[in-house]
Amino acid sequence: MDKQKALARIQQLRGELQAHNYRYYQLAAPVISDFEFDQLLRELEMLEKEFPEFLSPNSPTQRVGGEITREFNSVRHKYPMLSLDNTYSEAELREFDNRVARLLAGPYEYVCELKIDGVSISLIYENGALVQAITRGDGIQGDDVTANVKTIHGVPLVLERGDYPVSFEVRGEIFMPRAGFDRMNRQREEDGEQPFANPRNATAGTLKTQDSKLVARRPLDIFVYFLLGEKIAGDSHFERLNMLRKWGFKVCDIKSRCQGIEEVIRFIEEVGESRSQLDFDIDGVVIKVNAIDQQNKLGFTSKSPRWAIAYKYKAEEAGTRLISIDFQVGRTGTVTPVANLEPVFLSGTTVKRATLHNADVMAALDVRSGDTVIIEKGGEIIPKITAVDYSARSADSRPFAFISHCPECGTELRRNEGEAAWYCPNETGCPPQIKGKLVHFIARKAMNIDSLGEGKIEMLYDSGLVRNIADLYDLTYDKLLGLEKVITGEDGKEKKISFREKTVQNILNGLENSKSVPFERVLFALGIRFVGETVAKKLARHYRSIDNLSRATADELVTVDEIGEKIAGSVINFFADQRNNELIDRLKGVGIQFQSSEGPMLQTNELGGKTFVVSGVFASFTRDGIKSVIEANGGKVSSSISSKTDFVVAGENMGPEKRRKAESLGVKIINEDEFKGLIGA
Ligand code: IVH
């Protein structure tokens, strides 16, 4: 295909894909199948690959992410991002209305909207294309998270229809729908990762993720609620919301024009009753004066508009009876007290259990079996007990003593100084710890043995075939074939499941394939306390082999970027235990990767003792690459500039904030060539 034809086709495909995206995500009314959509997208991808000169940052192909942001540039908001005055009381709402009435001295109406519980964002459009997305930050300046926001399908990259101004800003809320949140958290737990506490935290965490590919996989969505810029059309807020929708933005349907405060209060009550059925979290209702000239008349205080207020719902509470307290033992041995409750309906779900966190929390509440307790569903997934009705307590109730021995294996519990949690130290003999470690080992982000899952691990453990991670690799066809377990199905009937040929072959293949999993993931899979995915990566890149790592002293470990005393102590303890070294030897014996195959070795010590901050884009290094080179030559990389920084290596597009900070602290700024000079390259 010649260039001109290619460009024409590219433009046609972009237009079509954009229209389908709009129909799918904004209108929820697709006219082609997912398959057909993917075909068009693939064709566009191929053409853009063949003709990279036609690549465009706002092409529909850019939704998948890919850009890595090492540090988010701090950007000043053109218009400050104000917050809203808020109240929990109807009386204060009426006061607000009285004030509005007094100041306007004439008829007015309100628009009531949902107060979406997410993360606010400012989207800047120029000539109908998204150019920048900035977080609220402190309201004056926020972080540039454009690459991440571009992966959110609800955010139009290019506006198609309408008479939008050449340049304008849209404010809105990015959030994670509950269904997507639940799905993601389940996956995280399966992968041995910490689940997010609530959709809001998940959203905030996701927007600050450095790898936009990861962001693209998270189910984020958006509602916009504010349009600003110079000479914006529309005499009322409501009209502007309709304009925004016409241009392709997502505006929440649940909103209402209200004549007078009584109608506002009715709206608040109605939403309050149905909020548990929404597919996203809200924390209140926002009430705005509708007419723009009246908004202007009311103006702003230093912090918030006088023409709007947020009414917030109180966290929902319920009283119920505490039947008993269980103790759960996790993968790392931590013992968590969990209350079994008389079932009670709260915020849309029936609650039967609530966490009591740890012994200190239990003692502070003085909670006992049989107590009447108040539970609250705040931001957390698991409800918590906030209070005990001591007056309803029976005379023979006795203080509840925290257990002294592991409920699973009987070992005496221990507690580290300064930590709230009791734990079972019997790492290698306590069933939930062993099973938990095995499940963590096979997880997707660890050894990725997806032919095994929690259920199969349970069977292997119960049969006695597998008691530790190395035992997995001693499994053979004959040992596995016909392995059985009786389970009780959802219908209450007992079923027998047994490993057939195909299952067995899949398990063995999965184990075999895991032998090529790179060292950094193997290190994560070992399940060393406090060594999560990121820490494992850092350690693997720095030490490059398990042998180097096992010889490191605590003093050395803490010089590695992001490794503190707690992690260092845990690593030292791990290798001090001979049983762990034996496991590693067995795993080495079957061919598991305990060495990195890529990345530079410690080459020189030219940069020994020097701390670097890197910023911007480099010609001959990727961002990770330059960091590895610094570390490989004995230097340390830090993410923020301080008086301890020796050099800032400035690439192209270095953030202006960084430059200012470096200059004000007198930190030396060097360019890429000067950096190469330092290591004699
Ligand atoms: S209007 C100048 N409308 O609540 C007025 N804000 O406490 C700007 N929020 O930072 C805000 N839903 O993140 C507005 N329908 C809505 C909202 C909303 C959620 C958030 C927003 C803002 C915070 C104010």
Three-state helix/strand/coil letters over 400-456: CCCCCECCCCCCECEECCCCCCEECCCCCCCHHHHHHHHHHHHCCCCCCCCCCCHHH
Residue located nearest, by CA, to atom 12 of ligand 1: 115
- Predicted pLDDT at 28: 74
Q: How far is the CA of 313 from the centre of ligand 1 (A)?
A: 15
| CA R_g for the chain | 29
What are the angstrom distances between the C-alpha of 53 and each of 49, 380, 527?
A: 9, 48, 46
> 145 CB contacts (<8 Å, ≥6 apart)?
69, 72, 121, 133, 134, 135, 207, 208
Residue located nearest, by CA, to atom 18 of ligand 1: 115
Q: How far is the CA of 282 from the centre of ligand 1 (A)?
A: 11
Q: Which has the minimum average pLDDT: 15-29, 451-465, 620-634?
A: 620-634
Give the integer Cα–Cα distance in Å for 130 and 546. Answer: 46
Active site residue 495: no
Ligand 1, pocket-test mutation among 81, 85, 112, 225, most atoms within 8 A of CB: 225
Residue 123 predicted with pLDDT over 80: yes
What are the angstrom distances between the C-alpha of 396 and each of 369, 370, 656?
A: 11, 10, 68
Residue 194 predicted with pLDDT over 80: no
What are the angstrom distances between the C-alpha of 379 and each of 85, 198, 343?
A: 21, 6, 20
CB neighbours of residue 58 within 10 Å: 17
342-346, 409-413, 672-676: which has the highest mean pLDDT?
A: 409-413
Q: How far is the CA of 83 from the centre of ligand 1 (A)?
A: 7
Give the integer Cα–Cα distance in Å for 453 and 191. Answer: 10
CB neighbours of residue 286 within 10 Å: 22
At residue 460, what is the residue type? L
Give the integer Cα–Cα distance in Å for 189 and 200. Answer: 18
**Which residues, listed in sequence order, are joined to residue 87 by a DSSP beta bridge?**
311
- Predicted pLDDT at 145: 95
The full set of domains in the chain, from first to last, is: 3-64 (1.10.287.610), 86-312 (3.30.470.30), 317-392 (2.40.50.140), 431-516 (1.10.150.20), 519-589 (1.10.150.20), 611-678 (3.40.50.10190)
As a whole number, mean pLDDT of residues 114-118 equals 95
As a whole number, mean pLDDT of residues 208-227 equals 92
Q: How far is the CA of 119 from the centre of ligand 1 (A)?
A: 9
Taking alpha carbons only, the member of 509, 495, 515 closest to residue 590 is 515
Handedness of CA 316, 349, 176, 221 (dihedral sign): negative
Give the integer Cα–Cα distance in Å for 199 and 178. Answer: 7
Residue 599 predicted with pLDDT over 60: no
Percent share of the chain, pLDDT over 90? 59
| Residue 603's pLDDT band (cuts 50, 70, 90) | low
- Predicted pLDDT at 596: 87
- Active-site pick, 3, 115, 246, 658: 115
In ligand 1, the atom with minimum distance to the C-alpha of 82 is: 2
| Residue 681's pLDDT band (cuts 50, 70, 90) | low
Q: Where are the beta strands (DSSP E) in 457-543?
A: 484-488, 494-498
Give the integer Cα–Cα distance in Å for 523 and 519. Answer: 6
Q: How far is the CA of 172 from the centre of ligand 1 (A)?
A: 7
Q: How far is the CA of 85 from the centre of ligand 1 (A)?
A: 10
| Residue 348's pLDDT band (cuts 50, 70, 90) | low
Residue located nearest, by CA, to atom 6 of ligand 1: 115
Note the pLDDT tens digit of each residue in 308-341. Answer: 999 998 877 889 999 999 999 988 899 999 999 9
Ligand 1, pocket-test mutation among 120, 140, 174, 250, most atoms within 8 A of CB: 120
CB neighbours of residue 418 within 10 Å: 5
In ligand 1, the atom with minimum distance to the C-alpha of 114 is: 15
Judge contact between 66 and 137, C-beta under 8 A: no
- Predicted pLDDT at 412: 97
- Predicted pLDDT at 210: 84
Residue located nearest, by CA, to atom 23 of ligand 1: 83
- Predicted pLDDT at 189: 73
Ligand 1, pocket-test mutation among 82, 84, 135, 282, most atoms within 8 A of CB: 84
What are the angstrom distances between the C-alpha of 277 and each of 82, 133, 248, 272, 644?
A: 30, 30, 26, 10, 52
Residue 450 predicted with pLDDT over 80: yes
- Predicted pLDDT at 233: 92
What three-state secondary structure class fits 221? strand
Note the pLDDT tens digit of each residue in 260-272. Answer: 999 999 999 999 9
First to last CA, the chain: 43
Unique residue bearing structure tokens 């909103």: 255
Residue 604 predicted with pLDDT over 80: no
Q: For residue 281, what are its two tokens? A: 């979290």
Ligand 1, pocket-test mutation among 78, 87, 116, 238, most atoms within 8 A of CB: 116
Q: How far is the CA of 382 from the centre of ligand 1 (A)?
A: 27
In ligand 1, the atom with minimum distance to the C-alpha of 136 is: 10
- Predicted pLDDT at 377: 77
Q: Which has the minimum average pLDDT: 45-49, 57-61, 409-413, 479-483?
A: 57-61
- What is the separation of C-alpha 210 from the centre of its chain, rounded to a whole number of angstroms? 11
At residue 480, what is the residue type? L
Handedness of CA 287, 293, 298, 300 (dihedral sign): positive
Helix/strand/coil percent split, the chain, to 5: 40, 20, 40
Q: How far is the CA of 165 from the centre of ligand 1 (A)?
A: 23
Give the integer Cα–Cα distance in Å for 69 and 643. Answer: 24
Residue 381: left (phi > 0), alpha (psi -120 to 50), or beta? alpha
Residue 635: left (phi > 0), alpha (psi -120 to 50), or beta? beta
Give the integer Cα–Cα distance in Å for 208 and 144. Answer: 10
Residue 416 predicted with pLDDT over 90: no
Ligand 1, pocket residues at CB < 6 Å: 82-84, 113, 115-116, 120, 136, 173, 225-226, 286, 305, 308, 310
What three-state secondary structure class fits 246? helix
Give the integer Cα–Cα distance in Å for 378 and 382. Answer: 9
CA angle 34, 36, 42 (to 5 degrees): 100
Note the pLDDT tens digit of each residue in 634-665. Answer: 788 888 899 889 999 998 888 788 888 899 99
Torsion of CA 583, 586, 588, 591, to 10 degrees: -130
| Residue 679's pLDDT band (cuts 50, 70, 90) | confident
Ligand 1, pocket-test mutation among 110, 111, 112, 115, most atoms within 8 A of CB: 115
Give the integer Cα–Cα distance in Å for 545 and 486. Answer: 43
Q: How far is the CA of 237 from the centre of ligand 1 (A)?
A: 14
Residue located nearest, by CA, to atom 17 of ligand 1: 115
Mean pLDDT, the chain, rounded, equals: 89
What three-state secondary structure class fits 486? strand
Note the pLDDT tens digit of each residue in 6-51. Answer: 999 999 999 999 888 888 877 778 888 878 888 899 999 999 999 9
